[in-house]
Amino acid sequence: MNTNPSNIMALTSNTSNKKETVCIFGTGDFGRALGYRMIQSGYSVVFGSRQAQTSSLIPKDAEVLSHAEAAQKAAIIIIAIPRQHYNFLTPLAEILHGKVLVDVSNNLKLNQYSQSNAEYLAQLIPGAKVVKAFNTVSAWALQSGPLDASRQVFVCGDDKKAKQIVMDIVRALGLTPLDQGSLLAAQEIENYPLQLFPMWKFPIFLSLGLTAFFFFYSLTRDVIYPYVYENKDFSFFIAISIPNRICPIVALILLALVYLPGVLAAIIQLYRGTKYSRFPDGLDKWMLCRKQLGLVALAFAFLHVLYTLIIPIRYYVRWRMNSGVLSQALNNRTDPFINTYGWLNDSYLALGILGFFLFVLLGITSLPSVSNSVNWREFRFVQSKLGYLTLILCTAHTLVYGGKQFLNVSSYRCLSVILLLMARER
C-alpha cells in the first residue's frame, strides 16, 4: 500500500512528467478509453484482465496482466467492469486491502439496486478505500477530447486522502472534479447519467402548459368571438398577434415563479423559527430549477421583443393605419393629440426596454463563466436585487399596456363563447 504523502506529491506536482502507476481492471470500451487518456497525461497504466494478452485495441504503452498481478503494481485501481461481475473481486480482497478502488460504473435504470454500486463495492472489499468517479463521462468523450462534452466529474468517497488522489487524477486528465461528499452521494451520482435534462423538465412542461392555456384563451377572445358574434375572420392572428400575447404573459409568470420559492422559503423559515430544517420536497426541487425557469422566461421575453419589433411592417397594421388616416381625411376631421396617451405609450415602451435589458443582464450573469468571476455577495446582489427590479419593471410594462381593458374584454368574450358552446350542446 502506498498512499503516503510522497505519492500524493508526485501526483500533484506538474514538474515530474512520469506520474504514478494506475491499474485499470477491465479492458472494455471504458477501461481502454480511460487508459489511453491516462497514458497521454503521463501516467503508467497496467490493465488487469481475464485474458493477459494484448489486443490491438489496447493502448500499446500499457501492460496487460492478470487481475492479481496488476493490482500489486499500483495503489489506485479503477474498476471498469459492470457491477454484476463485481463478485470476481472477492478472492482478491487481500491484495486490494488498503488500495484506492475507483468505481466508475453506471446502471441501466434509475435506482436499479437499493444500494449504490460504489457502496456495494465497499461492502465487498471492506479493507479498500472506495471512491466514486468518472461515471458521468463517456468513453467517447474521453477519446475525443474533453472539449466535446461535459468536463465535470463528480467524485465522492469516505476516505479524504483517497478522494484527493482521485481528484488530482481527474484534474491531470483535463477534467474538472466536483467533490460531492461521502459515499452516500454515490446513489445520486449514479442516477445523473440516466436523467434526461432533469432540471429542465419542470420549466419546459410548465411553459408548454401555460402556452397552451393562453393560446386557447386568446384564440377564444380574438378569433372565435369576432367570428361568431361579428362574423369577422381574424384567423391570421394565430401567426403573430396571439403568440405576441402569449410570450410576455408566460415570460412574466415564469419570472415571478423564479422569485416566489425564495419568498415561500423565507415564510416557512420564519414560521418554523429556524433555518436548520429541510424544506418540503417540492419546494426544494423548485428552488433547484430556478435558473432554468429564468432562462426559459428569458427565451419567451426575447420572442416577445422580436414579435413586437416587426409590428410596423405587418400588412394588417399598415392597412389599419392607412384607413385611419383616410377616414380622417374623408370626414374632414383631425384627431387631437392627447398628451396622456403620449406619456402612457412611451412609458410602457420604456419600461419594457429597461425590463428586457435587465432580464438579459440576469441571464448573462447566470452563465457559469460569468458567475464564477464574481463573488457570492455580488452574485446574490445581481440575482436577487436586479431580479426583483426586472420583475417590477416587466409587471409595470404589462399593466400600463392596458391590463384592465385586457382582462375585462377577455373575460367577457371568453364567457360568451363558452356559454354559446354550452347552449349548442343542448
Ligand X SMILES: NC(=O)C1=CN([C@@H]2O[C@H](COP(=O)(O)OP(=O)(O)OC[C@H]3O[C@@H](n4cnc5c(N)ncnc54)[C@H](OP(=O)(O)O)[C@@H]3O)[C@@H](O)[C@H]2O)C=CC1
Which of ligand X, Cu ion, none has residue 85 at its interface (CB below 5 to 8 Å by kind)?
Answer: ligand X
Which of ligand X, Cu ion, none has residue 214 at its interface (CB below 5 to 8 Å by kind)?
Answer: none
| Residue for grid cell 425557469 | 293
Say which amino acid occupies 421: L
Using CB under 5 A as the binding rule, whether residue 248 contacts Cu ion is answered as: yes
Shortest Cβ 311–Cu ion spacing (Å):
11
Between 62 and 414, name the residue whose CB sits nearer to ligand X.
62
Which of ligand X, Cu ion, none has residue 135 at its interface (CB below 5 to 8 Å by kind)?
Answer: ligand X
Between 62 and 223, name the residue whose CB sits nearer to ligand X.
62
Which of Cu ion, ligand X, none has residue 248 at its interface (CB below 5 to 8 Å by kind)?
Answer: Cu ion
* Window contacting Cu ion (CB under 5 A); options: 29-37, 220-228, 241-249, 356-364: 241-249
Residue 77 near residue 23 (C-beta atoms within 8 A)? yes
Between 95 and 246, name the residue whose CB sits nearer to Cu ion.
246
Cell matching residue 105: 460504473
Which of ligand X, Cu ion, none has residue 138 at its interface (CB below 5 to 8 Å by kind)?
Answer: ligand X
d(CA 259, CA 387) in angstroms, rounded, equals 8
d(CA 279, CA 150) in angstroms, rounded, equals 30
CA distances from 201 to 286, 289, 293 (A): 11, 9, 10
Between 59 and 248, name the residue whose CB sits nearer to Cu ion.
248
Residue 146 near residue 176 (C-beta atoms within 8 A)? no
Strand partners, 130: 101
Using CB under 5 A as the binding rule, whether residue 31 contacts Cu ion is answered as: no
- What residue number has its CB nearest to ligand X? 28
Between 88 and 357, name the residue whose CB sits nearer to Cu ion.
357
| Residue for grid cell 370626414 | 331
Shortest Cβ 163–ligand X spacing (Å):
18
* Window contacting Cu ion (CB under 5 A); options: 34-42, 43-51, 243-251, 402-410: 243-251
Q: What count of other Cβ atoms lies within 10 Å of the Cβ of residue 276?
A: 6
d(CA 182, CA 184) in angstroms, rounded, equals 5
Which of Cu ion, ligand X, none has residue 352 at its interface (CB below 5 to 8 Å by kind)?
Answer: Cu ion
Between 177 and 352, name the residue whose CB sits nearer to Cu ion.
352
Shortest Cβ 324–Cu ion spacing (Å):
22
Which of Cu ion, ligand X, none has residue 30 at its interface (CB below 5 to 8 Å by kind)?
Answer: ligand X
Between 49 and 383, name the residue whose CB sits nearer to ligand X.
49
Using CB under 5 A as the binding rule, whether residue 243 contacts Cu ion is answered as: no
Distance spanning both ends of the chain, measured CA to CA: 85
Using CB under 5 A as the binding rule, whether residue 355 contacts Cu ion is answered as: no
Between 110 and 423, name the residue whose CB sits nearer to ligand X.
110
Positions in the binding site for ligand X (CB under 6 A): 26-31, 49-50, 80-82, 85, 88, 104-106, 135, 138-139
Shortest Cβ 49–ligand X spacing (Å):
3
d(CA 322, CA 7) in angstroms, rounded, equals 82
Whole-angstrom Cα Rg for the chain: 31
d(CA 353, CA 364) in angstroms, rounded, equals 17
Using CB under 5 A as the binding rule, whether residue 177 contacts Cu ion is answered as: no
Shortest Cβ 41–ligand X spacing (Å):
18
For residue 178, report the phi and psi dihedrals to the nearest 5 degrees: -125, 115
Cα-to-chain-centroid distance, residue 272: 31
Which of Cu ion, ligand X, none has residue 88 at its interface (CB below 5 to 8 Å by kind)?
Answer: ligand X
Using CB under 5 A as the binding rule, whether residue 387 contacts Cu ion is answered as: no
DSSP string, 186-225: HHHHHHGGG-SSHHHHHHHHHHHHHHHHHHHHHIIIIIIH
Between 18 and 109, name the residue whose CB sits nearer to ligand X.
109
| Dihedral over Cα of 293, 298, 303, 304: its sign | positive
Which of Cu ion, ligand X, none has residue 157 at its interface (CB below 5 to 8 Å by kind)?
Answer: none
Count CA within 13 A, CB hemisphere, residue 64. Answer: 17
Which of Cu ion, ligand X, none has residue 320 at its interface (CB below 5 to 8 Å by kind)?
Answer: none
d(CA 206, CA 186) in angstroms, rounded, equals 30
CA distances from 274 to 15, 263, 281 (A): 50, 15, 17
Task: Work out the angle between the directed axes of helices 290-309 and 241-272 (0-180°, nearest 10).
Answer: 150
Shortest Cβ 315–Cu ion spacing (Å):
21
SS3 state of residue 361: helix
Between 88 and 319, name the residue whose CB sits nearer to ligand X.
88
Tell me which residues touch Cu ion (CB under 5 A).
248, 352
